[in-house]
Amino acid sequence: MRETTERVLQPAEIAEACRQLTDQGARLQMAYAWFPERGESPEVLYLADQGPGKPFPLLRCRPSQGSAQMISLATQIPLLGWYEREMTDLCGIYFAGHPEPRLLVLHEGAHPALPPLDPRYPKDQIMPYTEEAWDLPPVEGNDVQALPFGPVRGDVLESAQIAFYYIGEAILHCHPRLFFKHRGMEKRFEGLSPMLGTLVAEQISAVGSVSHALAYCQAVENACECEVPLRARCLRTVLAEMERLYNHLYYLGHLCHTTTLKVGEAQGKLLAEQCKQFNGIFTGSRFLRGLLKPGGLRRDLNLHGLRAKLNVLEPEIESYMQALETTNSHLDRLITTGHLPYQTAFDQGASGPIKRASGIERDLRHDHPYAAYDRLPIEIPVRNEGDAHARVQVRMAEIRTSVALIVRAIDEMPEGPIDTEVRLQPRAEGLGWCEGPRGSTYYCVHLDDIGTLVRVKVKSPSFSNWRVFPFTVHDTNMMDYAINEASFGLTMAGCDR
């Protein structure tokens, strides 16, 4: 893969290689497995980020044929815990010594004939299930009560089941059970032409349509050594920031809902709605779908009127944010709620505004510029408090940055073509990334002998942040739970995939 430095190692060498990377300041981003050949053992890949302007380290290893076993790195690098469990469920790889050797993607009672991501697994076969109890960790104590909350929850929240162990109002332990609506999106890519894969990528999470499609397109372009025209890159930047803008405004409104600030909720959601209407007016899609493709854009866009509309809306947005920051009843519910320390955020894999609110100064737009971000330098907003209010402040700063980036990109929009030919390469591999509203999105694509997709790995920010979230719930209270969850801005669709 371009933009990476690759090493092929034996399974026994992986732990030391990862330790060396972390000692040098790199941060592991994800791990995944794929089957290069039908009927053979899978290959496991570890992707890391070693900082601004540096290539991504990529470690490869392959368990011996027939064993499908490796040593778990979850005690050394905790954020890999979920990726290892995901590989166990979907690829049949057993990680010895894993501290949480329980199912993650598959629920108790699942009996797949083969690992679901094995290319021999029949796509039209429904996975057999039997009714089995949820395997929860034991919690002892005479006064401890258990509350299974969900998977059907109030309002319009997506499906998730949270098991609380609590005494009175104090939460001792929070254990989430997700993947109730796992759609097998990575499996759906198999056998598709890379030119059609964008349609799958932008369906993974509605409110992340651009970030998923953009990361996917860049992965294909990386694999096929394709250079996207400048106008297309600038238009992609505008679309990505428009997506960030309506997401963050809706986030502020929804957070007001949890603090019972009804006027703030209505105003935030109205501003988000106005931004989505701008999307519809200038692109034909409120969620900015059907626009991106490998090589550029499907069609050109005329965005000249967007600048004037944003100039009218910007003072309203600023007034709204200032009102929130001076409303004591709202701030009282946010300050100190859901504290996430720097080290926990780093070790457990926090992403996006969540990590930046805990002092981690990383943003792919700045560290590894894509689209036209190399022409539009940005400042990374960072807070160190790590609480719900800090997460709000980071998003407010990003709203201001998004408006400024959109206006500047429109003013400096070049003329020229909006797409270029993508020549599919056999056996090619590519890496793409995007800093979406919720955090870092990565795509790795693998093509077969005739240039069709054989494996697409999706690293979604909500997958990372859902893993981090319970660490902010333990030893808190029931009254703050809904506020804390809302402050993370999580989506189930992005996590379940």
Better-predicted residue by pLDDT, 64 or 101: 101
Residue 151, preceding peptide bond in cis (omega within 30° of 0) = yes
Using a 10 angstrom Cβ sphere, with 0-12 exposed, 13-18 middle and 19 or more buried, the burial of residue 259 is: buried
Same structural domain for residues 248 and 357? yes
Domain check: are 101 and 201 in the same one?
Answer: no
Q: Do both 387 and 311 map to the same domain?
A: yes
Residue 483 in domain: no
pLDDT tens digit sequence for 129-140: 888 888 777 777
Mean pLDDT, all residues of the chain:
92
What b/e readout covers 444-468, taking b as 16+ CB neighbours within 10 angstroms?
Answer: bbbbbeebbbbbbbbbbbbbbbbbb
DSSP 67: T
**Mean pLDDT of the region 100-106:** 90
- Could you tell me if residue 7 is inside a domain? yes
Q: Are residues 234 and 312 in the same domain?
A: yes
**pLDDT at 401 exceeding the cut of 70:** yes
Mean pLDDT value across residues 15-28: 92
pLDDT at 65 over 80: no
Binned at pLDDT 50, 70 and 90, residue 359 comes out as: very high
Element (H, E) at 276: helix 262-283
Q: Can you tell me the distance from the alpha carbon of 198 to that of 138, in angstroms, rounded to the nearest whole number?
A: 43
In a domain, 452, yes or no: yes
Is residue 161 one of the residues assigned to a domain?
no
Q: What is the DSSP string of 346-402?
A: HHHT--THHHHTTT----HHHHS--TTTTTS-------SS-SHHHHHHHHHHHHHHH
**Whether 316 and 452 share a structural domain:** yes
On whether both 88 and 199 belong to a single domain, the answer is no
Identify whether residues 196 and 117 lie together within a single domain: no
Q: Which of 96, 123, 150 is the last residue of a domain?
A: 123
> Is residue 395 assigned to a domain?
yes
Q: What is the pLDDT of residues 266-295, one digit of tens each?
A: 999 999 999 999 999 999 999 999 999 999
At residue 203 the predicted structure's pLDDT band, cuts being 50, 70 and 90, is: very high
Strand blocks (E) in 127-283: 145-149, 161-167, 170-177
Amino acid 136: pLDDT: 78
Percentage of the residues of the chain whose pLDDT score is greater than 90 = 74
Host H or E run for residue 342: helix 342-348
Point out which residues pair with 447 in neighbouring strands: 453
Task: Give pLDDT, residue 158.
Answer: 79
The mean pLDDT of 172-176, rounded to a whole number, is 86
Q: Which residues constitute the domain of residue 234?
A: 188-462
In a domain, 140, yes or no: no
User: Does residue 119 sit in the same domain as residue 199?
Assistant: no
pLDDT of 248: 98
The predicted pLDDT at position 337 comes to 94
C-alpha–C-alpha distance, residues 408 and 238, integer Å: 9
pTM of the predicted protein model: 0.94
Do 374 and 458 fall within a single domain? Answer: yes
CATH code where residue 14 lies: 3.30.460.80
Computed over its alpha carbons, how large is the radius of gyration of the chain?
22
Name the most confidently modeled range: 111-120, 174-183, 311-320.
311-320
**Euclidean distance between the first and the last CA atom of the chain, given in angstroms as a whole number:** 24
Which CATH number fits the domain that encloses residue 456? 1.10.645.10
Q: What is the pLDDT of residue 127?
A: 85
Last residue of a domain, one of 123, 156, 173: 123
Lowest mean pLDDT among 120-129, 257-266, 420-429, 442-451: 120-129
Residue 181 has pLDDT above 90, yes or no: no
Note whether 193 and 339 are same-domain residues.
Answer: yes
**Structural domain includes residue 52:** yes
Claim to verify: residue 243 and residue 110 sit in the same structural domain: no
Confidence of residue 156 (pLDDT cuts 50, 70, 90): low
pLDDT of the residue at 125:
80
Position 141 pLDDT exceeds 80: no
| Least confident segment among 189-198, 203-212, 487-496 | 487-496
Domain count, the chain: 2
249 lies in a domain? yes
Between 496 and 442, whose confidence is greater? 442
User: How long a stretch of residues is the chain?
Assistant: 497
317 and 430 belong to one structural domain: yes
> 212 with 292: CB under 8 angstroms?
no
Is the pLDDT higher at 352 or at 425?
Answer: 352
Res. 474 pLDDT band, cuts 50 70 90: confident
Alpha carbons 350 and 342: distance in angstroms, whole number: 10
Structure confidence at residue 66 as a pLDDT band (50, 70, 90): low
